[in-house]
Structure 1
Amino acid sequence: MESHDADLLPEGLEDRLPREAATTTRAMRAIQDVMHGHGYDRVLPPMIEFEQSLAARMAGIRSRRMFRFVDPVSLRMMALRSDFTPQIGRIAATRLAEAARPLRLMYAGQVLTIKADGLDPARERLQCGAELIGVDNVAAATEVLGLAIEALKAAGAHAISIDFTLPDLVDTLAAQAFPLAPGQIEAVRGELDTKDAGGLVDAGGEAYLPLLYATGEFDIAIERLAAIDTGGVLADRIAALRSIAAAVAGEGVRLTLDPSERHGFEYQSWFGFTLYADGVRGLLGRGGTYRIAAIDAGSGDGSAGEVATGFSLYPDALIALLSANEAPEDRLFLPIGHDRATAARLRAIGWRTVAALSEADDAAALACTHVLTGDQAVRI
C-alpha cells in the first residue's frame, strides 16, 4: 500500500480550510475592532525570541513547553512563543518604556506549545488580547473585563460566563490569617486546586477547608468568602470583586467565583478571571492582574517590575462553532465576456464574484449562488 505519511500534519496541528479560514478572519477582525475602538494599539512581536527573554519576563512561564533550538547566528537558545503576554511585557519594558502610562496594547496571532493542554489536543492556537500596562487597580480590571466581554460578543459568542478567582489568596492568608510554614504553601495550593479536603488537612491546611465551599454563583460565594474573612485580611479584595462584578452585571453575563483556583493563573497577582460561552467547549480566555518582571541586563534575573492588567482570548473553539453554523455566502458567477464595469460595481456593493476562465466552467460546481445576466445578479 502506498504511504501518504508525507502529507500528514504533526499531532495537534491542522489546516484551516476556506470556510473556517473565512470565519477566523471575520471573528479576529471583530475582536480587534473592539479593542482598537477602546484605544488599544496593536503590536506585532516576532514568533521567535531568545528563550531567556520569554521565560524570565513573567513568573510561571514554562520554557519546557516551548519549542527550542540554537540560533546558528548568535549560538544562543531561542524559542517559539507559547504565550504573547511575555512579549508584550518586553515591548512595554524596553521599546515603549518612555511611553505615557497607562499604556494600552493589543495583539493577535498564533502560539505553539510542545504539549497540548488537558483534553484539548491542539498545540497551535490563536491568541488575541489586550494589555493595560502601568495599572492594576479596580478601574483597570473593570475596563479589561468589560473589553473582553464586548470583544467576545462582537465575535459571535452568546451567554458568556465569567469565573472570578484570587490567585494570591493562599499567600495572603498564609501571611497572617491562616499561617503556614513556607514549605506548606505550595502543598496547600495544590490540594485546593484539586478540591481534595482530605489532602488539604494532611498538608496542614485544615483552616483553608471553608474555601472549598466558597465557590459557585457569585453572590452566594462572595458572602461565604466574606464570612471566612473574620480578620478582614481579604476585605479590600472582596470589595474589589463586588465592584467589578457590579460593573459587568448589566452585560447579561453569568458570574461565578472560585477564589482559590490557580490553574492557568501562574503569573497573575490579586485578580483573575476565566471566560466561557454557551456551546463552546472549554474556556475562551482568561485574564487578570500581573507584574512584568524587570530583567537585569547583566545577570538576566527577574525582579519586581511594572504592574499590568490584561486578558488573552483563545477563540478557536468559538470559530469552529460559528463556522459550522454559518450559512454559505452568496457568490456571483461571471460568464465569459461579462461586462467588467458591472462586475466591479457589484463587488463595490459587497458581492463576491467568480469569473469563468473557460466555457467549461460551471456556476453550480464552483459553489456560486447567482449568475450575472446582463447587469443583474440572477439566483441559480
Structure 2
Amino acid sequence: MNTWLLPEGINESLPDDAEKLEKLRRQLVDRYATWGYRLVMPPMVEYLESLRAGMGTQLDLQTFKITDQQNGRMMGVRADMTPQIARIDAHRISKGDTKASVNRLCYIGTVLRTRSAQQGGSRSPVQVGAEIFGHSGVESDFEIISLMLDTLHSINVTELVLDIGHVGVVNGVAEYAGLTKNQQQNYFDMLSRKSIPEINVWVIEQGLSDSVGAMLEALPMLIGSNDVIETAKERLKEAGQPVLDALEHLENITQLVSNNFPEIKVNIDLAEMRGYSYHTGIMYTVYLPGRGESIANGGRYDGIGEAFGNSRPAIGFSTDLRTLASMMKHTEIKSDGILAPFTLDKDLDQLVTELRQQGKRVIRQLDESSTAVSEQQGCNRKIEKQGDNWIVVAN
C-alpha cells in the first residue's frame, strides 16, 4: 500500500497553486467587502440536524457522519456551507428577530462530500459564496446575481451563459393540476430529465384533462430566450395567479440582467429542477461554453432559518475557488525574492527586518557554506556588502 496516496477526489495544493488560490481568495474577500458583504467562518463540523436543515435529502447523502465522542451525538462534516450561514444569520446575528435588518454575508472554506458532482471531480472543493438575509424582492435577487457575475468577471471570464428559472412556475402548475404526491414525484423526475416522450405518455396514462395535460406537456419545452416568458404566460394562463406572478418576477429579473449585463447570454428554463427541494423562488446556474459542468449557481430559499427559530427571506450563490482558479490565465510565478547571506551582522539584520516590513520577501541562507544561488531560491536580487554598507543589488 502506498501510504502517500490521497483518497480519490481529495485535493491538496503545492506552493505555486497554493499561492494562486490564496491570492484569489484574498481578492474575492476584499471585493465582496466593497459590496458590503461581511466574512464569516463557520466550523468544519456541526451537529447533523443543523447541517441538513431545510436543504433536502440530497445534502444528507453528501454528508460524512461522525460520532461526537463527548456525548454520542451524530455530527457531520459540512458538505455545503449554506445551512451554516443561515444558522449564523438566524441565531447568532439576528438573534431570532424576524424583522432584523438585512444581513449581507460571505464565506470561503473547504467542504467535504461523499461523492463528487462529476466523474473524477473533487470531493473537497473550496466553496465560495455570498448570501442576503432579510429581504425578499427583485432588488436582492438582482444584487446577488450581479455579485455572482462580478465574481466571474473579476477573473476575466467572459462568454457566460446564465440559466434561470423559477420554482413557483412548476409548483403552481402541479398544484393547479391537482397531482398527488406520488404523481408529483414521477412528473418532477421526468421533468428533471427533460424526457418529453415519457411525459407525453404519462399524461395520457393519468387520464388528466386536456387543459392540464397541455400545460404539463408544455413545461419541458419552455426553454430559450426572454421570449419564452411571453409564451409561458399564454400557455400557462389557466394555472392561476401564482404562476403568472412567478413569470412576472422572472421577467423583471431577466430584463435587469440583460440591460446591465448585455454580454451575458440569458437562457430561460422553466423546467429547471436543480435544487428544487429547497429553493422557493428563482434558481440560476452559470455555464461557460466548452465546460460541461456549471461554474456557479444559486437561488432563493426563503424560510431556511425556520429550523433555527427565525424564518427569514434568503438568497445567495456559490462557486468553487479551485474552479475559478483553473479558469484564470496562466501566469508565471515571478522570482521577486531577495537572498540575504548567513552572515551575523546587526546592520544586515536591520536591513532584512526593514525589507520584510515593506512586504519584501527576504530569504536568509542557512549557513555560510551554502552554494545555492539566488535564482535557485526564487530570488532575482541579493544583499551584498559594498564597503561598510549592506545594499540590495540585482543578480
Please give the TM-score of this superposition, normalised by the length of structure 1.
0.86
Matched residue, 2:306: 294
The gaps in structure 2 that reach 5 residues or longer are: 204-212
Q: Does 1:319 align with 2:330?
A: no
Pairwise CA distance, 1:102: 1.5
- Counterpart of 1:221, as a letter, is V
Q: 1:242 to 1:368 in 2, by over 3 A?
A: same
With 288-297 and 249-258 compared, the bigger mean Cα shift is at 288-297
Q: Does 1:228 align with 2:239?
A: no
With 220-229 and 106-115 compared, the bigger mean Cα shift is at 220-229
With 368-377 and 277-286 compared, the bigger mean Cα shift is at 368-377
With 310-319 and 44-53 compared, the bigger mean Cα shift is at 310-319
**Cα-to-partner distance string for 1:84-137 (whole Å, 9 max, x where unaligned):** 111111122212234732222221101111111233521111112111112221
CA distance in 2, matches of 1:265, 1:372: 61
CA distance in 1, matches of 2:324, 2:220: 31
Which residue of 207, 223, 240 maps to 1:215? 223
Pairwise CA distance, 1:162: 1.2
CA distance in 1, matches of 2:322, 2:63: 20
- Counterpart of 1:181, as a letter, is T
Q: 1:202 to 1:36 in 2, by over 3 A?
A: same
Contact residue 42 and residue 105 of structure 1 kept, 8 A: yes
What percent identity do the matched residue pairs reach? 25
- 3-state secondary structure, aligned to 2:312: strand
Pairwise CA distance, 1:357: 2.8
Please show how residues 331-370 of structure 1 align to structure 2 within 5 Å: 331-336=336-341, 339=348, 351-358=360-367, 359-370=370-381
Contact residue 191 and residue 200 of structure 1 kept, 8 A: yes
Matched residue, 1:246: 255
Which residue of 244, 260, 275 maps to 2:286? 275
Q: Does 1:58 align with 2:55?
A: yes
Q: 1:343 to 1:49 in 2, by over 3 A?
A: same
Pairwise CA distance, 1:206: 5.4
Please show how residues 15-26 of structure 1 align to structure 2 within 5 Å: 15-26=12-23
With 24-33 and 138-147 compared, the bigger mean Cα shift is at 24-33
CA distance in 2, matches of 1:351, 1:220: 56
Contact residue 331 and residue 353 of structure 1 kept, 8 A: no
With 346-355 and 304-313 compared, the bigger mean Cα shift is at 346-355
- 3-state secondary structure, aligned to 2:379: coil
With 112-121 and 349-358 compared, the bigger mean Cα shift is at 349-358
Contact residue 115 and residue 123 of structure 1 kept, 8 A: yes
Contact residue 43 and residue 105 of structure 1 kept, 8 A: yes
Matched residue, 1:127: 127
- Counterpart of 1:226, as a letter, is K
**Cα-to-partner distance string for 1:284-343 (whole Å, 9 max, x where unaligned):** 22111112152388xxxxxx9322111112232221232x71222232342415955555
- 3-state secondary structure, aligned to 1:306: coil
Pairwise CA distance, 1:260: 1.2
Matched residue, 2:186: 187
Matched residue, 1:171: 171
Larger radius of gyration: 2
With 103-112 and 155-164 compared, the bigger mean Cα shift is at 155-164
With 345-354 and 196-205 compared, the bigger mean Cα shift is at 345-354
Contact residue 58 and residue 293 of structure 1 kept, 8 A: no
Contact residue 166 and residue 247 of structure 2 kept, 8 A: no
- Counterpart of 1:294, as a letter, is E
**Cα-to-partner distance string for 1:330-369 (whole Å, 9 max, x where unaligned):** 3234241595555566556664343333431222222334
